[in-house]
Amino acid sequence: MLDVGFAVRANGLGVRYRRGWALRDCSFELAPGTVTALVGANGAGKSTLLRLAAGLQRPTEGVVEVSGEVGFVAQEKPLYRAFTVAEMLRFGRSTNDSWDQEYAEQLVGEARLPADAKVGSLSGGHRARLALVLALARRPQVLLLDEPLSEMDPVARETTMRALMVAVAETGLTVVLSSHVLAELEGVCDHLLLLDQGSVRLEGDVEELVEGHRVVVAARGADFGDHEVVTTREGERQVTALLRLVGPPDLPDLPEASTPALNELVVAYLRAGEAA
């Protein structure tokens, strides 16, 4: 990888279609070796952003830069359905100078993919596993994954995430992973990039973001001081609010305050976007 200090960087990135802007004024920077959860509601622009980073689409405005070789697994998992698994590996080896055949065979074995099976006969989950094998065996520096876990069963998801984490630990691979399975991203991703209606709504180190928010339960009409109210849920006598802390977490009059889980944080920001 080029020693440029970033893995993926966007500045003022935007894409406009006839119906309007799919992305607008997106700016962020991802460090090498990070695992980023790319989240957002349907239509937020996640797939568009990944295609731009992969070089498969040109922006209307702004720029996105990626340092090093890129691997990309699209949501559709495009594969040659008439090929066998073994033929797909031979295809990958013949079209990629950095191909690691031993690693590819190891991943195929871990996924229990039969070498002589036609791609078209595989289940959706197995095709997803094979597409990921092809992307990883290219030994990219940056791996972009669009909903890679959606068709996998729980065991396959766990095995897949383990393989990704091993690759990150051993090679410094940077992963950007779009997924709606938020529970499985917690504890795996160390960076968050949340898109809302085509713009970056929240971005940063997961631990720092979580520590920078509080879930509080207070009487209706409570004063939250200078802290930003992200979203609220009101009951008859109480209100539950997610606060983005401004300065020290000084909440002496709010004893029921807790640090949110990543899932709580993301859902709250998505609800806030819908309400807006």
Give the pLDDT confidence score for residue 54 in this predicted structure: 95
Lowest mean pLDDT among 85-89, 142-146, 181-185, 208-212: 181-185
Rounded CA separation 193/242 (Å): 18
Residue 245, helix vs strand vs coil: coil
Provide the β-strand partners of residue 228: 244
Q: CA quadruple 60, 65, 68, 71: dihedral positive or negative?
A: negative
pTM: 0.90
Q: Which two tokens mark 57?
A: 């689409």
DSSP one-letter string for 123-189: -HHHHHHHHHHHHHHT--SEEEEESTTTT--HHHHHHHHHHHHHHHHHH--EEEEE-S-HHHHTTT-
Highest mean pLDDT, choosing among 25-29, 159-163, 218-222, 250-254: 25-29
44/257 Cα distance (integer angstroms): 30
- Say what the pLDDT of residue 201 is: 94
Confidence of residue 135 (pLDDT cuts 50, 70, 90): very high
d(Cα 7, Cα 25) in Å, to the nearest integer? 19
Average pLDDT over residues 266-270: 91
Confidence of residue 96 (pLDDT cuts 50, 70, 90): very high
Q: Residue 215 corresponds to which tokens in the numbers above?
A: 């879930």
Token pair recorded at residue 50: 């990944």
**Is residue 207 classed as helix, strand or coil in its secondary structure?**
helix
Rounded to the nearest 10°, the torsion over CA 201, 64, 139, 171 is -60
pLDDT at 2: 47
- Residue 18 tokens read as 């006839």
The average confidence (pLDDT) of the chain is 89
Q: What is the mean pLDDT of residues 150-169?
A: 87
The token pair that represents 32 in the structure block: 């090498």
CB 202, CB 194: distance < 8 Å: yes
Q: At residue 158, what is the residue type?
A: E
Q: Are strands 238-244 and 199-205 parallel, antiparallel or unpaired?
A: unpaired
Alpha carbon distances (Å) from 174 to 31, 79, 240: 8, 23, 36
Q: Is the distance from CB of 263 to CB of 206 less than 8 angstroms?
A: no
* Lookup: tokens for 157: 């998801």
Give the separation between CA 99 and CA 71, rounded to whole angstroms.
Answer: 12
Pairing of strands 8-17, 61-66: antiparallel
141-145, 158-162, 238-242: which is most confident: 141-145
> What domains can be seen in the chain, in order of their start residue?
8-204 (3.40.50.300), 208-275 (no CATH)
Strand order in the sheet with 20-30: 20-30, 8-17, 61-66
